[in-house]
Structure 1
Amino acid sequence: MTPPDLDQTVLLSLLGAGFATAFLHAALPTHWLPFVLVGRAQRWSLPRVLAAVATAGLAHIATTAFVGGLIVLAGLALDQWVAGLLPYLSATLLLAFGGFYLLRAAIRGPQTAAGPQLDMPEPAVSHTAAFLGLVVVMAISPGEVLLPFYLNQAQEGLPVLGALTAAFAAGTVAGMALFTLLARAGWSVLRLERWARYEGAVLGLALIAIGLLVVLYQP
């Protein structure tokens, strides 16, 4: 039921703004590029990549909602401390993940061709570890751009905050899935398979670069 002081038009506008903000926020490379790179390194099918995207996106919003709730309860002090700390944990995990792939690629060297087809190496890590790693990267980094919504709508009560969180989740998962699909399609269209022999090194460097961007992005 819509709260008496918030009519349906205003509520729908709020939810639409929340969805759009979350969708656009998902355009950041940190929200889709690791899934494309790790999915290729692990040779995942599209459904498996999208499952990782959906799980990580929901975990990302769950963390955002948790931090948003803390901000509502404790004020802006927690906004500066918690929201400022977790992105660095995410960056650290990205750097460690990228460093692992890069070190493994350096030890193994470029993969050689076997006839007309490239002999793809075995996945560098287990599928479970790669899947959980992607989820944890997103889970420990709340969407800072979404947090002000919680503070601004705190007086409207839990039903509105719950609906807003659902809009965030829908926008985030939709955006992450779309940009992941576009990136995978672009990879095939540009015939980037020719770089597959250096895929481990490219993956490691890309994840490290993303981790550094996360650090540099912080104010």
Structure 2
Amino acid sequence: MTPSDLQQPVLLSLLGVGFATAFLHAALPTHWLPFVLVGRGQRWTLPQVLGAVAASGLAHIATTAVVGGLIVAAGLVMDRWVSGVLPWVSAGLLILFGAFYLGRAVLRAPIMAGGPSLALSEPTVSHAAAFWGLVVMMAVSPGEVLLPIYLSQATEGPLVLAALTLAFAAGTVLGMTLFTVLARAGWSVLRLERWARYEGVVLGLALILIGLLVLLRPH
């Protein structure tokens, strides 16, 4: 199936959900705080920091797409053996991930109560080592919260999955860039960490809702 086979509103809704989910996921401190700290430690300019953010975000989505492709392939094979099971599996994973993020956001203790020190110091590694360290850090941790969305669209064809990957990339890079810029502009790191608590609630509820929509969609 190609994007033209889907109704345009359905495709736009799918891409919007993918973009919003990736953007919310990028609000997690692991997606912007290292760039703030490393950038200050290396005394990088804003363009240097944002270059690392963009490269790392794209690497993050690239590995997510590879893992997602493998999951989709496995899901399609499984669906041939057990007819109709794929939507139930993807919906179940979405709901489980949503419950996990929601529960963690509600139950976890405040993070970094004192806030990390952002004092400037002399760079301890080369700029290239710092840059590639950030890229590798994001590349080896695919966005697990995005994987069930790939699985939920497994039967829609490679072009739809490619469009979804582009939406993930746009949301991730934009979110990482926004929160990194806000932190560098003087926003309290502690305040952003507090907002990350609500991000977990919103993301959890959104994933549960998507899972329910997958279950209710005619198959």
**TM norm. shorter chain > 0.5:** yes
Q: Give the C-alpha shift of residue 185 in structure 1.
A: 1.1
Helix, strand or coil at the partner of 2:145: helix
Structure 1: 5+ residue stretches without partners: 81-117, 193-219
Q: Give the C-alpha shift of residue 75 in structure 1.
A: 3.5
Distance 1:45 1:2 in 2: 40
Name the counterpart of 1:71. 71
Name the counterpart of 2:186. 186
Distance 1:50 1:174 in 2: 10
Distance 2:131 2:181 in 1: 17
Aligned partner letter, 1:55: A
| Contact 1:3–1:156 (8 Å) recurs in 2 | no
Worse overlay, 154-163 or 178-187? 178-187
Structure number with greater Rg is 1
Q: Give the number of aligned pairs.
A: 149
Cα displacement string for residues 46-95 of structure 1 (whole angstroms, at most 9, x for unaligned residues):
00000000000000000000000010112499x99xxxxxxxxxxxxxxx
> How does 1:1-219 map onto structure 2 within 5 Å?
2-4=3-5, 6-75=6-75, 121-186=121-186
Q: Give the C-alpha shift of residue 182 in structure 1.
A: 0.6
Aligned partner letter, 1:28: L
Name the counterpart of 1:86. none
Distance 2:163 2:55 in 1: 19
TM-score (norm 1): 0.64
Distance 1:122 1:36 in 2: 15
Name the counterpart of 1:113. none
Helix, strand or coil at the partner of 2:141: coil
Aligned partner letter, 2:25: H
TM-score (norm 2): 0.64
Name the counterpart of 2:102. none
| Contact 2:75–2:154 (8 Å) recurs in 1 | no
Distance 2:158 2:33 in 1: 34
Distance 1:31 1:122 in 2: 24
Cα displacement string for residues 107-152 of structure 1 (whole angstroms, at most 9, x for unaligned residues):
xxxxxxxxxxx9x643100000000000000000010110011111
Q: Give the C-alpha shift of residue 186 in structure 1.
A: 1.9
**Sequence identity, in percent?**
74
Distance 2:57 2:165 in 1: 12
